[in-house]
Structure 1
Amino acid sequence: MLNITRVELSSDGWTFNILSPRVATITNPLGEIKVSYFGFDSLEKANIFKQWLLKNQKCSVATVRKSERLSMAFECKAWAVPTELIAEGETK
């Protein structure tokens, strides 16, 4: 069972969900995942993960940036990631 920390982003129900120091999501008021974040300690690892996501069609769009949402140095922000991949990332 996941221990999720939820942070309210707006009064209308948008939520930031922290699954682990490396994985988080933002959900809309209906609880649907709109974007996922995967944290990495290096830019190189984040870019490798982004390329893997895109090559294997595990997301619709992905970008890498200095972390804004996670406690890691860099994050890969991706849209339309399968729930199974998000849960798997939380356990690693």
Structure 2
Amino acid sequence: MAKVHVHETHPDIVKRLRRAEGHLRRVIGMFDEGRPCLDLAQQLHAVEKAVGEAKRTLIHDHVDHCLDRAVSGSGNSTKAVVGEFKAISKYL
């Protein structure tokens, strides 16, 4: 079983993603309605930005916690923390 890993920002990120999910469903409906491409592109851009912001918040929060753990000396070794930081920073 995976270890539960929750940061303070996770509930807000989930709320943001649920809103984006609902918005994406509405955009799909706009396609079904035959809405103009400009409207579709604008709405897809909004969904993309919402998901991107959620990802950025998640990564920044994670990096903050990793660095705090490394500085305080608790948790993984410095080498492991740096490796984790390098791995997650690829998603920025």
TM-score category of the 2 structures, normalised to the smaller one: under 0.3
TM-score under structure 2 length normalisation = 0.21
Higher helix residue share: 2
Q: Which has the higher contact order (CA 8 A, sep 6+)?
A: 2
| Structure number with bigger Rg | 2
